[in-house]
Amino acid sequence: MKRINLRIAPDSLECLIKRVPAAAPILAAAPMLCLLACAEKGVAPEPDPEPRVVLNELMADNAGTTADDDGEFDDWIEILNVGETEIPLSDLALTDRLDDTDPWIPEGTEALSPGERVLIWADGDDTALHADFKLNVLGETVVLHWSREGGIIDSVTYEALDADEAYARFPDGEGPWRRTDQPTPGGSNS
């Protein structure tokens, strides 16, 4: 007989399972057995934090605010990880149409760490961090999806914006959207 200690959550309950045979199928079931043992004691384990990512700011007429890696002043969308877990960019998809069945998915292996943000260039180039669509200066809806499940994560509808005017959340990552003539691409909205 083996004793297995399984930690359910940091600084939380530890369940000790006794009399678990060393057989592989049983060991594979050990996490479930631990959950059942915890349930019998009336204790619920803490779930892993869910990934939380949001649209945070956008600019539909970038006349001279910030240039992309090619030195071009293209429209941009800022995505912010407000959760506690890292999120691979390839898990996200972005579109400017609610009925889009083939949204743009970032290329590469980059990931957003908690608190980190990324600028997606909405210039129609369809490369690494350059989306296959452009933003409409007269206004439209931008939608952030999970790339695999297709579920909508966040969306925003904006009206016509002036040159170098942004539409951003205040406070950063959680507040309502508003127009601003002080854009903060890649930085905190304050």
Burial call 168-177: b when 16+ CB within 10 Å, e when fewer: bbeebbeeeb
pLDDT digits (tens, 9 = 90+) for 127-174: 999 999 999 999 999 999 999 888 899 999 999 999 999 999 999 999
Q: How would you class 13 by CB atoms within 10 Å of its CB: exposed for 0-12, middle for 13-18, buried for 19 or more?
A: middle
Show me where the domains of the chain are located.
Answer: 2-40, 53-180
Q: Is 2.40.10 the CATH number for 53-180?
A: no
Please tell me the pTM assigned to this model: 0.75
| DSSP symbol at 128 | T
Distance CA 134, CA 54 (A): 19
Residue 172 confidence (pLDDT): 93
